[in-house]
Amino acid sequence: MIRFILRRTGSLFLLLVAVSFITFTLFQFGPADPASAACGQECTPERVQEARVALGMDQPFLVQYVEYMRGLFSSRMIGAPGAESLCQWPCLGKSFQTNENVSDIIARSLPYTFSMAIGALVLWTLSGVGLGLLAALRKGSATDKFIVGAASVGVSLPIPVTGLFLLLVFVNQFHLLPFTTNEINSPFGPQGPLAWVLNYLLPWIALAVLFSASYIRVTRTNMIETFGEDFIRTARAKGLAPRTVTFKHGVRAGITPVVTMLGMDIGLLLGGAVLTEQIFSVPGLGFTAVRAAVSGDLPVTMAITMLAAFFVIVANVVVDLAYAAIDPRVRLQ
């Protein structure tokens, strides 16, 4: 087990380095001219040159990359020689727009993204696994067909349409819920947990509609497979209560693929729900990324993309390790 952990962590480290390097290349070498993006509207050739030096772009590419990554481990000075400023650890550069430390911008956005992720996750896991299980138990019935049909429709609903529709109905027409406010980003804030739930309920629903569809499908397929296995028949033959057979024997064995999906989706969602945050004006990572992308604020988009990819990779490894802990066969291959 220890060797397995070491091997996975080792490859995790390599993958993180590779992802950060690729992101850096895409964002530094991709744009026609990052320096003119940095110096903004009124740009003279001299000011572009100054910006190039200030961004360290006169340095060789690898030096730029190493310098950038060094910011993850210690504070560093950035800016043109003579006009340097301290970039506090963890340093991810400074915003072209506001000159603020990118890490501060990210730290400010994270609680909103967490709030979005947690609730949506609970909602779609409960509804997805619950409905999938129900469909599997009533395989072939009208209930099953309805649930499978609903899942097909759910996976085809684009978030902009569902999101705007929810806003229109619940906030604008019937005033059932408040419009999301920036003041609430944790259930432990002064407004209390109920205000937090009400504030994020609509974005949670918008995300859950889309995500739970694939959970319904996977749960249903796997549960049907599991219920067909010999050990379930044995359990039934022993005279165990149907409830015990379903939950203690069936669900436990058939739920593992859902756990994998869940791990990966958590990673994905922590990087920011771009569309949902935009529609409901929740200033999380996704919202910040859109604003930065539209205004050409490269350091911010680069850092958020890198962070989001890190979340996905780490989530993958955590899922693998959890699997290995549960199922020893995984470690061998």
Partner 1 sequence: MTQLQSPAEPGTASAAPSRDRPAEARSLLATAWLRIRRSKIALLSLCVVVAIMLFAILAPVLSAMSGNDPFTSNTSPEVLDDFETPGLPLPGYMYPSASHWLGVEPGLGRDLFARLAFGGQVSLTIALLSTAVSVVLGTVLGAAAGYFGGKTDAVISRLMDLFLAFPHLLLVLSLTPILQSRLRDTPLGQGSFLPMASLVIILGFFGWAYLARIVRGQVLSLREREFVEAARSFGSSHLSILFRQIIPNVMGVVLVYATMLIPTNISAEAALSFLGVGVKDPTPSWGQMLNAAQAGNWYLSDPWFLAVPGAMLIVTVLAFNLLGDAVRDALDPKASRH
| Residues lying near partner 1 in the complex (CB under 8 A) | 15, 18-19, 22, 26-27, 30-33, 37, 139, 148, 152-153, 155-161, 164-165, 167-168, 172, 217, 220-221, 224-225, 268, 271-272, 274-275, 278-279, 286, 289-290, 292-294, 296, 298, 301-302, 304-305, 308-309, 312-313, 316
- Could you give the CA distance from residue 263 to residue 322 in angstroms, rounded to a whole number? 10
Between 33 and 84, whose beta carbon lies closer to partner 1? 33
Shortest separation between residue 211's beta carbon and partner 1, angstroms: 14
- Could you give the CA distance from residue 124 to residue 140 in angstroms, rounded to a whole number? 23
Between 240 and 293, whose beta carbon lies closer to partner 1? 293
Shortest separation between residue 37's beta carbon and partner 1, angstroms: 8
Between 128 and 271, whose beta carbon lies closer to partner 1? 271
Between 20 and 196, whose beta carbon lies closer to partner 1? 20
Between 196 and 251, whose beta carbon lies closer to partner 1? 251
Between 27 and 114, whose beta carbon lies closer to partner 1? 27
Shortest separation between residue 16's beta carbon and partner 1, angstroms: 9
- DSSP secondary structure of 229-274: SHHHHHHHHTT--HHHIIIIIIIHHH-HHHHHHHHHHHHHHHT--H
CB neighbours (10 Å) of residue 230?
Answer: 7
Shortest separation between residue 333's beta carbon and partner 1, angstroms: 15
Between 30 and 328, whose beta carbon lies closer to partner 1? 30
Shortest separation between residue 215's beta carbon and partner 1, angstroms: 14
Return the SS3 of 320. Answer: helix
Closest CA to 103 of 304, 269, 312: 304
Between 196 and 267, whose beta carbon lies closer to partner 1? 267
260 contacts: CB under 8 Å, gap ≥ 6: 319, 323
Shortest separation between residue 286's beta carbon and partner 1, angstroms: 7
Report the chain's C-alpha Rg in angstroms: 24
- Could you give the CA distance from residue 57 to residue 259 in angstroms, rounded to a whole number? 44
- Could you give the CA distance from residue 145 to residue 2 in angstroms, rounded to a whole number? 46
Shortest separation between residue 74's beta carbon and partner 1, angstroms: 26
Give 5-8's long-range contacts (Cβ < 8 A, gap of 24+). Answer: 5/321, 5/324, 8/317, 8/320, 8/321
Output the CA torsion 203→207→212→218 (10° steps): -150
- Could you give the CA distance from residue 136 to residue 305 in angstroms, rounded to a whole number? 38
- Could you give the CA distance from residue 200 to residue 194 in angstroms, rounded to a whole number? 10
Residue 88 tokens, joined: 């506090």
Shortest separation between residue 214's beta carbon and partner 1, angstroms: 11
Shortest separation between residue 245's beta carbon and partner 1, angstroms: 19
- Could you give the CA distance from residue 75 to residue 81 in angstroms, rounded to a whole number? 17
Between 119 and 271, whose beta carbon lies closer to partner 1? 271
